[in-house]
Structure 1
Amino acid sequence: MHPSTPDERLRAFGNQLIEIHLWLREELTRIRDGLGEPGVRPRDLRTHCLAFCAALTRHHTGEDAGAFRVLADRVPELAPVLRELEADHHVVAGILHRVEELAEAAAPPAEVRAELDTLAALLESHFVYEEKKLVDALNALTDGTTEGLLGVPVPPPDPE
Structure 2
Amino acid sequence: MTVPDESERLVAWGAELRAVHARLRAALTVVREADGSDAVATRDLLLVCHGFCVALTQHHQGEDRQLFPAIAAAHPELRDTLMRLQQDHSMIGALIASLDAVAGSDEHGSISRHLDGIAAIMESHFRYEERSLISVLDALALDAEPREVLGSL
TM over 0.5: yes
Structure 1: 5+ residue runs without aligned partners? Answer: 156-160
Q: Stretches of 4+ moved more than 3 A in 1?
A: 8-11
Partners of 2:41 and 2:53 in 1: how far apart?
18
Q: Which residue of 2 aligns with 1:158?
A: none
Identical columns (%): 38
Matched, 1:141 2:140: yes
> CA RMSD of the aligned region, Å?
2.0
Cα drift, residue 86 of structure 1:
0.4
State the AA in 2 paired with 1:135. I
Q: For 1:92-139, what per-residue CA distance to the aligned partner results, in whole angstroms no more than 9, with x for missing partners? A: 000001112222x14311111111111111111100000000111112
Q: For 1:58-95, what per-residue CA distance to the aligned partner results, in whole angstroms no more than 9, with x for missing partners? A: 11011001100000001111111000000111100000
Match of 2:140, SS state, is: coil
Q: Which residue of 2 aligns with 1:102?
A: 102
Cα drift, residue 9 of structure 1:
3.8
Cα drift, residue 36 of structure 1:
4.3
Residues 27 and 52, structure 1, Cα contact 8 Å, conserved in 2: yes
Structure 2: 5+ residue runs without aligned partners? Answer: none
Cα drift, residue 37 of structure 1:
1.2
How many aligned residue pairs are there?
A: 147
> 1:11/1:38 Cα in 2 relative to 1: closer, same or farther (>3 Å)?
farther
Q: Which residue of 1 aligns with 2:38?
A: 38
Matched, 1:90 2:83: no
Cα drift, residue 11 of structure 1:
6.1
State the AA in 2 paired with 1:90. S
Match of 1:38, SS state, is: coil
Q: TM-score, normalised by structure 1?
A: 0.84
When structure 1 is superposed on structure 2, of 13-22 and 30-39 the one drifting more is 30-39
Residues 34 and 45, structure 1, Cα contact 8 Å, conserved in 2: yes
Q: Which residue of 2 aligns with 1:66?
A: 66
Q: Which residue of 1 aligns with 2:127?
A: 128
Q: TM-score, normalised by structure 2?
A: 0.87
